[in-house]
Every structure is written in structure tokens, then in C-alpha cells.
Amino acid sequence: KRNIAVMTSGGDAPGMNANVRAIIRAAIYKGCKAFAVYEGYSGLVKGGPKYIREMSWHDVRGWLAEGGTNIGTARCMEFKERWGRLAACKNMIDAGIDALIVCGGDGSLTGADLFRSEWPSLISELKETKKITAEQYDKYKHLNICGTVGSIDNDMSSTDATIGAYSSLARICQAIDYIDATANSHQRAFVIEVMGRHCGWLALMAGMATSADYIFIPELPSSKKDWQDHMCKIVSKHRERGKRKTIVIVAEGAIGADLTPITCKDVLNVLVDRLHLDTRITTLGHVQRGGTAVAYDRMLATLQGVAAVDAILEGSPEIPSPMISIVENKIVRKPLVEAVKLTKQVAEAISKKDFQKAISLRDTEFNE
Ligand code: ATP
């Protein structure tokens, strides 16, 4: 029976608590000991009972719906250094942990895979420098790693949905519904900034779900003249047909054809100068991360939490570091390294304006 630790890392996302709850309870149900690492990788690097705690069934009671992450998350520069990972390795052995499940974005999962692949050399160094005993070396020779994807952006390749994305989308739609009422009353235009640096999923889906007039996403840049003319044409047409309000959604990573950002202020200026609309900007900001998880995220996080514990217990020699995904409504294991690599390649292609490549990389993911 294993001693399984769970950690949340990177940006928080609604549903992370549900994932931690499922992992802890599935581990206990299957006869394992369950631990939580507090404050992401920095808790692992610092170690000790303040940061690495054994968890009981009751410790996670009521966590299913709660937003954020109750075990904390952090960006940890030390873990990017070998000495930080060496300290983390020692702290895990001291706590008696032999398997780690990380819920986070592509950065966190890259760190997890690196930790696993480096583990033999880290543990050998600890043995050689007599920081651990020969018995500890034999007992902890192998580290099992598994990733679950927590991210509001839905920006990870090889999975259709990430934990938190649908909650964030629901929050955005709710906020736009509120804005709609006031926009309609005063016949105003609102330019709304939503999250998404490399991935326009939130903006695109929110645009569809709120019938926004126009959206800007990183994946579809156009020249200044093109987007200005096109947006004005569409918005004017809607106004001529009697629409009393205008909603334009801008993903924070939206860019023009020259790769310079398209900001809410740029859009506002055009709506005011060319269409003479009374226009306001609303940046939704961290509201998009807050609140309880929607039913879909609670369900996804729970199913994936159980699947992560199964992956640890069954082991998968063909996939040394599995990532738990959902593909066409099925919970599946994918190679974490490949998923992270694809995600980075897509982001890189978008930032280099190579959209054909970005699209074909995304197709690779779906045709796998
Ligand atoms: P989000 O999508 O919300 O940004 P993320 O998991 O991608 O989440 P990052 O800040 O990139 O967030 O990564 C979180 C942490 O994971 C980092 O602070 C660091 O501790 C660890 N990490 C990231 N990349 C690496 C890496 N290449 N090697 C080792 N550790 C890493």
C-alpha cells in the first residue's frame, strides 16, 4: 500500500478542492495513507509537518463545492533549481511519501515530470551523502507521479476540459448577464476583458453563451484596419436592427496581426470615435477565479481524482508520468510530457503568428 501525497500548484481554479478531496478519499478507501502538501512546490521544498500533513477522511469534508484551493498554491522558483528538488526529495522521504499527484497547469506538470525523471539521481545523491539510509534508498527508489489539470483557461492539450474552466466560464457569463441589464438600460457599449493569455477558449465560449457582438482572441489576430472596420460593421448592423446594447469581449492575450496587444482601451476608442457609443470597460479580473465550482467541475475533479489514484496504484510502464484527461467524455490517461509539449508548441506557434501550425498541432491532439 502506498503513501500518496496530493498538491495544488500554479494558478488556483475552482474544482481543485474537489480534486484534492477525491484523491484523499480514494487513497484512504483503497487502503493507502493520504497526505497533502501545502503551498505547492514551496511546501515540498520547505518540508516538515507544517507543509506535509497526513489527511483523514474528515479533513476534506465540505470541500467538494468550495472554490480556490484550501491546501494553498504558490509559484516556487526554488523547485526550478536542482537543489530545491533535492530538498523536496529528502522531505518526501522523511514524510514517508512514495507517490505524488499534482493538480496544476502546464508549468506545474512539467515540474512534476522533471522531478520523476530526476528522482533516481536525487535519491542516489542523498544516499551517497548519507542524508538517507540504505533502507530508505531501497524503499523509496521509485517515485510515482500523476498529474490532473487544474486551470481556468482550458489551455492544456490532450484534454477537452481542465478543472475550473467551466466554473470560470459560468462566472463570466453571470457577470455579462449583469452588465447586459445596465447596458441595455442606457444603450451603452461594454468592452469586457476576460482571462486567457494564449488561449481564447473563455472569450470564445463566453461570446457564444452571452451572444456578444464581437470577440477578440489570441488565435485570430487581424490587422488594425481589418478588425476596426469589421467590428464597426457588425456593431452598426446590430444597432440598426434595434439592439440597445453592445458587448465586446477581449481575451487578455488578444493580439493584432502585427503581434501588438489589442487592449480594451483600443476597442473603446474605436467604438467611441467611429460609432459614438457611450462605452465602458469592465475588467472581470479575479472574479473569474472565485466562487464555488459548477457541477461539471465537481464531477470532473472527482472522477479524475479517483482515476489519478488508480493510475498510481496500477502503475503504467507505458506512460511513466500519466496525466488524467477527459477526451470525448471519457476519463483517460495521457502521457503528461507529450501533453505539456503540445501545449507549449501551440502557445509558441500563436505567439510567433504561425496559426497554420497552431491549428495543425491542435488537430494532432484531437486526431490522436
Ligand atoms: P497556470 O496555468 O495557472 O499558470 P502553471 O502550473 O502553468 O499554472 P507555473 O507558474 O508555470 O503555473 O508553474 C507553477 C510552479 O511549478 C512553478 O512556480 C514551479 O515551482 C513549478 N515549475 C514550473 N515549471 C517548472 C520547470 N520547468 N521545472 C521545475 N518546476 C517547474
The residues near 104 (Cβ < 8 Å, ≥ 6 apart) are: 7, 8, 9, 10, 40, 73, 112, 147, 149, 150, 151
pTM: 0.93
The pick from 9, 100, 198, 199 for probing ligand 1's pocket by mutation, whose C-beta has the most ligand atoms within 8 angstroms, reads 9
Residues β-bridged to residue 150: 163
Please tell me the predicted confidence (pLDDT) of residue 368: 45
Residue 363: pLDDT band with limits 50, 70, 90: low
| Residue-wise pLDDT tens digits, 76-108 | 999 999 999 999 999 999 999 999 999 999 899
Please tell me the predicted confidence (pLDDT) of residue 365: 58
> How large is the greatest C-alpha to C-alpha distance in the chain, in angstroms?
79
Residues β-bridged to residue 330: 327
Q: What is the ipTM of this complex?
A: 0.91
| Residue-wise pLDDT tens digits, 3-61 | 999 999 999 999 999 999 999 999 999 999 999 999 999 999 999 999 999 999 999 99
C-alpha cell at 21: 478531496
Q: Is the CB of 41 under 6 A from ligand 1?
A: yes
Q: Is the CB of 151 under 6 A from ligand 1?
A: yes
| Residue-wise pLDDT tens digits, 203-226 | 999 999 999 999 999 888 888 889
Q: Of residues 98, 106, 153, 297, which has the active-site annotation? A: 153
Q: Is the CB of 105 under 6 A from ligand 1?
A: yes
Identify whether 94 is a catalytic site residue: no
Tell me the average pLDDT of the chain. Answer: 94
Q: What single string gives the DSSP state of each residue in 31-78?
A: T-EEEEETTHHHHHHH-STTTEEE--GGGGTT-SS--S-TT-----SG
| Residue-wise pLDDT tens digits, 141-184 | 989 999 999 999 999 989 999 999 999 999 999 999 999 999 99
Residue 287: pLDDT band with limits 50, 70, 90: very high
Q: Is the CB of 304 under 6 A from ligand 1?
A: no
Among candidates 164, 208, 199, which has minimal Cα distance to 296?
A: 164
Q: Whose CA is nearest to atom 20 of ligand 1?
A: 76
Q: Whose CA is nearest to atom 16 of ligand 1?
A: 108
Q: Is the CB of 80 under 6 A from ligand 1?
A: yes
Which is higher by pLDDT, 260 or 5? 5
Q: How far is CA 20 from CA 68, 186, 345, in A?
A: 11, 45, 29
> End-to-end CA distance of the chain, in Å?
34
Distance from residue 106's CA to the centre of ligand 1 (Å):
7
Q: Is the CB of 39 under 6 A from ligand 1?
A: no
SS3 278: coil
The residues near 122 (Cβ < 8 Å, ≥ 6 apart) are: 85, 86, 89
